[in-house]
């Protein structure tokens, strides 16, 4: 991940207003492309990509820092500008119901429309694209080698430094690194929509799956169009009251619930993760209300994760989530009738495993990001004991 230097952090505080950037951008900047989802309004354009629907006079930039009115048209400033690219275990997303134990080619561009005080990737999500490193190290290919002495097979990863990473290059690198899917993740992929959409469409043609890891703050029309190419959507449901969303996220809960309802209606796979922050969103009533709503409006089959918070960013003074809090939240979700409830960031917790909701046996045994055992039937993803079909792509 790109780290901001102290100098960069200082620049962040004293940078000129966003409208100045647009005038500095050369017309042939390789990262500037036409943006979608906007309407002309008097003296400017209105972006319709996310619920903020920013009004942008000529030269102004949106709240996400990566969309600008440039010559009366909305432009994205981050097409092919990947700032964080890694080959991850899919469990790290976390996504548990897609190819357990596989590798996923994961990337981000700068920018975000939200202002989460617990952001784990603020060094890339809260910067202007101009502040990102000029080049990024990206995984290029993964070769399997055999150690002649021990006979052990290991992977040798080759990487390369790039200034731009096109959708074609992403797909090619994903295939060469033995990835089974591509994840649009780390920052907020909704705000690099055009880059993600083109990559996902190409990836689908080449047999790769697509995963969007998002806070779900996106308007319905762009979301529905994107879902044609997304195999799994992971939504970070950050809490369950508007006050928390307003104060600690910088958005509104109701719009995220709209996104989740759209995902349910669409019929594709989606999972939910909730980062449990002590004293802020871990109240019993809040967890009960959230899990009851998921059960009622989204169904019992939606995988739900309670992830452990670690002191970070603007919440550095809050202690890590006690494991008992996560266990209690999981118990409540199971009590509400949810079938696949996980605990994240606590290696060794029983809530890392996937259980058959009928016989209770472990189907996928995990430790941290490692899959120790996968007992699902290879065809159809069923429990080998009673044949229960587990939702997912296995």
Q: Could you list the residues that contact ligand SF4 (CB under 6 A)?
A: 47, 49-50, 52-54, 62-64, 67, 113, 191
User: From the CB of 56, what's the least distance to ligand SF4, in Å?
Assistant: 7
Give CA–CA dist 301/109, Å, rounded: 31
Minimum distance of ligand SF4 from residue 49's CB (angstroms): 4
Residue with tokens 């195999």: 231
Closest-CB residue for ligand SF4?
Answer: 62
Q: How far is the CB of 35 from ligand SF4 (least distance, A)?
A: 8
Cα–Cα distance for residue pair 174/176, rounded to 1 Å: 6
What whole-number distance in Å separates Cα of residue 251 and Cα of residue 235?
A: 14
Residue closer to ligand SF4 by CB (options 178, 220) is: 220
CB nearer ligand SF4, residue 46 or residue 172: 46
187 CB-side CA count, 13 A: 33
Using CA atoms, how far residue 140 sits from 85, 94, 101, 185, 219, in Å, is 10, 23, 20, 18, 34
CA neighbor of 377 nearest in space, from 358, 361, 363, 366: 363
- Considering the complex, state which of residue 53 and residue 169 has its C-beta at the smaller distance from ligand SF4: 53
* Cis ω before 94 (30° cut-off from 0): yes
In whole angstroms, give the CA distance from residue 153 to residue 142: 12
Dist CA 379 CA 361 (whole Å): 19
Q: Are 371 and 382 in contact (CB under 8 A)?
A: no
Distance CA 242, CA 222 (A): 24
Nearer to ligand SF4, 49 or 223 (CB): 49
Residue 161 makes CB contacts below 8 A (sequence gap 6+) with 135, 136, 137, 138
Residue 115, beta-bridge partner list: none
Integer angstrom CA distances of residue 184 from 200, 211, 232? 9, 6, 11
User: Which H/E stretch holds residue 154?
Assistant: strand 153-162
Nearer to ligand SF4, 250 or 337 (CB): 250
């Amino acid at each position: 991940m790109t780290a901001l230097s102290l100098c960069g952090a200082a620049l962040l505080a004293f940078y000129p207003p966003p409208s100045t950037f647009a005038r500095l951008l050369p017309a042939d900047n390789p990262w500037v492309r036409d943006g979608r989802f906007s309407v002309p309004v008097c003296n400017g354009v209105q972006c319709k990509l996310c619920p903020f629907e920013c009004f942008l006079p000529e030269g102004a930039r949106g709240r996400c820092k990566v969309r600008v009115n440039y010559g009366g048209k909305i432009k994205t400033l981050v097409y092919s500008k990947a700032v964080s690219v890694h080959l991850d275990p899919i469990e790290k997303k976390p996504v548990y119901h897609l190819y357990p134990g596989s590798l996923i080619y994961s990337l981000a561009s700068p920018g975000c429309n939200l202002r989460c005080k617990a952001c784990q990737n603020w060094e890339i999500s809260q910067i202007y694209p101009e502040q990102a490193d000029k080049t990024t190290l990206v995984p290029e290919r993964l070769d399997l080698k055999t150690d002649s002495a021990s006979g052990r097979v290991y992977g040798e990863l080759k990487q390369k430094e790039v200034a731009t990473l096109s959708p074609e290059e992403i797909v090619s690198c994903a295939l060469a690194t033995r990835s089974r899917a591509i994840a649009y993740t780390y920052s907020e992929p909704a705000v690099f929509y055009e880059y993600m959409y083109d990559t996902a469409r190409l990836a689908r043609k080449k047999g790769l799956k697509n995963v969007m890891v998002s806070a779900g703050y996106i308007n319905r029309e762009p979301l529905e169009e994107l879902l044609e190419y997304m195999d799994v959507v992971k939504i970070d449901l950050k809490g369950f009251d508007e006050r928390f969303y307003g104060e600690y996220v910088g958005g509104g809960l109701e719009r995220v619930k709209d996104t989740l309802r759209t995902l349910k209606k669409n019929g594709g796979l989606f999972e939910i993760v909730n980062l449990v922050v002590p004293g802020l969103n871990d109240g019993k009533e809040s967890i009960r209300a959230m899990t009851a709503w998921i059960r009622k409006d989204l169904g019992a089959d939606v995988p739900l994760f309670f992830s452990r918070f670690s002191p970070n960013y603007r919440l550095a003074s809050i202690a890590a989530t006690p494991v008992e809090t996560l266990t209690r939240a999981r118990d409540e979700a199971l009590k509400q009738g949810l079938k696949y409830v996980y605990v994240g960031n606590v290696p060794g917790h029983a809530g890392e495993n996937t259980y058959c909701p009928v016989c209770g046996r472990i189907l996928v045994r995990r430790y941290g990001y490692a899959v120790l055992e996968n007992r699902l039937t290879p065809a159809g993803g069923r429990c080998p004991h009673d044949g229960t079909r587990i939702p997912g792509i296995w």
